[in-house]
Amino acid sequence: MASADELFAADDALALASLLLSDDDDPASLVDGLLDGLVDDAAPQHAPQAAPAADSPSAPCPRGRAASASASAQRRSTSTSRQRQKDELAYLRAQVTELEQQLNALKHVPVSGSTAAPASAAASAWERIARNQMNAKQKAEAENIKLREMLEGQLKIARGLEKLLRKRPCGSILDDCIDSDARKRRRALSLSDDDTVFVQLETTLDDWYAQADDALRECGLAGQTADLQDARVRTDPQDDHVVFLEVLASKVFPFELERVCAATLECCRRPVIQLATGVYSMVGQSENVIRIQFDLEFPVRRSTVKVHIRGAMKRYVEKDREVYVWDSVGRMTSSLPAFSKCQLSDHGWTVLRRMPSQNGMPTTLVQSCSRSCPELFQSDSPLLGAKATAASDHIGVLTDVMMASYHKNYQALYQTTEDILMSGLLQDAAYREDCSPSPSESEQSRE
């Protein structure tokens, strides 16, 4: 069985490798069938024709040669896209079996039972050793459960990608992430200095704020009144060629809206917060705008990927709720060339609203919707005529980096908000206790 460290190193890759799996599918037969079909489709269906002699009456005119060259370029582009998809599927086939075995191994680790007390005092040393071993085993079991939950969530994401890939029999998912005009502008932005990046991002926030209610209705959070954490792959309603990862969260806090709003603002303004895979920093603020930064580092396929994200966040105060809107852009660096040719864009909303009191207790609902997308740049990318390793590295961005960068870190931010709320509650309780009269003082006042 693989060690715990190896399993953690493989957790993100598992989502990618399981991309072609559904609950009732056999991995090997599914991938083999798709590969065979794609190879057949990509095969040329016409025989080459001999070029006519230059002095022949039937020789093509310049216009004909231009049309022929255009058609040839189009065929090469289609062939490249099919080859890219073949490479993606080939990579998945190589990974599915090994990673599925790792998940099955995690599911079948037995839960430890209790140990009997020592028969005599002479066994106290062995009792101490057994207790230490039991504590270590229980810790490993807790990590095992945590890893299982994480992998199962990523399998759900991967199966969403599977559906998208099946809808593209002649195209690769990578085709949706490469070189639009908007992404070229974002690329130039990601390479700019900090002030330029923050100023440009701040100009988008009011537009995103205007879309907050529509976004919550569209993702289903508008009707949600209980705790929820979910992540899924979606396509843009305005352009089904744009693929993004949507992360949803809904948390119920048994506190007044004003107290939760204050705790959330304090969380966002904290200079540093340790996350699951890095650090969150508040690097500047003015009025209701906060400039934020994430520096993340995590293992991906026996390498280390670093992501430097810069973002702008704005707080909008309404009568019975507060809305936070953010926009960010991140640049990746790695020893793997594929990950150094990508950037991440992310925007989203967090809405805090008052709910009807439950059993006389105040209640506040905090909901977040984040949409993140990888952006690849063909001018930098070795994809044209690429080897299978290059294509598989790039398709991995959709799962390995996006999920490691974002939804793994949300819990740390929510936990920080909860810690602030509980700290304030304990301080209030201590203050009331200090201010309340002692029993002797109460008796004297009655006399």
Q: Do 210 and 89 belong together in one domain?
A: no
Q: What is the mean pLDDT of residues 329-345?
A: 77
Q: Do 139 and 247 belong together in one domain?
A: no
Does residue 148 lie within any of the structural domains? yes
Does residue 58 lie within any of the structural domains? no
Does residue 442 lie within any of the structural domains? no
Alpha helix stretches (DSSP H) within 108-193: 124-166, 181-190
The pLDDT assigned to 417 comes to: 92
Contact 349, 324 (CB under 8 A): yes
Task: Quickly state the pLDDT bin for 4 (edges 50, 70, 90).
Answer: very low
Better pLDDT: 199 or 37? 199
279: containing domain: 178-433
Q: Do 161 and 251 belong together in one domain?
A: no
Task: Quickly state the pLDDT bin for 291 (edges 50, 70, 90).
Answer: very high
Does residue 394 lie within any of the structural domains? yes
Q: What is the mean pLDDT of residues 325-342?
A: 80
Contact 247, 407 (CB under 8 A): yes
Q: Do 388 and 422 belong together in one domain?
A: yes
Q: Is 225 a residue whose pLDDT tops 60?
A: yes
Residues facing residue 310 across a β-bridge: 293, 329
Distance between alpha carbon 432 and the CA centroid of its chain, in Å?
43
Better pLDDT: 103 or 447? 103
Residue 51 one-letter amino acid: A
Q: For the chain, what is the mean pLDDT?
A: 70
Q: What is the mean pLDDT of residues 180-186?
A: 51
Contact 399, 157 (CB under 8 A): yes
Q: Do 102 and 219 belong together in one domain?
A: no
SS3 of 50, please?
coil
**Among residues of the chain, what percentage have pLDDT more than 70?**
47
The pLDDT assigned to 402 comes to: 63
Q: Do 199 and 141 belong together in one domain?
A: no
> Across 172-238, where does the E strand assignment appear?
228-236
Task: Quickly state the pLDDT bin for 372 (edges 50, 70, 90).
Answer: confident
Q: Do 282 and 421 belong together in one domain?
A: yes
Q: Is 312 a residue whose pLDDT tops 90?
A: yes
Task: Quickly state the pLDDT bin for 203 (edges 50, 70, 90).
Answer: very high
Q: Do 149 and 197 belong together in one domain?
A: no
Does residue 446 lie within any of the structural domains? no
Task: Quickly state the pLDDT bin for 378 (edges 50, 70, 90).
Answer: very low
Q: Is 240 a residue whose pLDDT tops 70?
A: no
List the one residue out of 34, 49, 48, 21 whose CA is nearest residue 82: 34
- Which own/partner pairs from 256-261 qualify as long-range (CB within 8 Å, at least 24 positions apart)? 256/362, 256/364, 257/320, 257/321, 257/322, 257/352, 257/353, 257/354, 257/362, 257/364, 259/364, 259/421, 259/424, 260/352, 260/364, 260/366, 260/417, 260/421, 261/322, 261/352
CATH of the domain at 280: 3.30.530.20
Does residue 172 lie within any of the structural domains? no
**Among residues of the chain, what percentage have pLDDT more than 90?**
24
Q: Do 397 and 260 belong together in one domain?
A: yes
- Burial pattern 319-353, b for ≥16 Cβ within 10 A else e, equals eebbbbbbbbbbbbebebebbebbbbbbbbbbbbe
Contact 268, 313 (CB under 8 A): yes
Does residue 184 lie within any of the structural domains? yes
Domain count for the chain: 2
The pLDDT assigned to 269 comes to: 94
Q: Is 390 a residue whose pLDDT tops 80?
A: no
Q: Do 107 and 193 belong together in one domain?
A: no
Distance in angstroms (rounded) separating the CA atoms of residues 314 and 203? 11
Task: Quickly state the pLDDT bin for 160 (edges 50, 70, 90).
Answer: low
Q: Do 323 and 220 belong together in one domain?
A: yes
Does residue 440 lie within any of the structural domains? no
Lowest mean pLDDT among 36-45, 175-184, 192-201, 308-317: 36-45
Q: Do 251 and 365 belong together in one domain?
A: yes
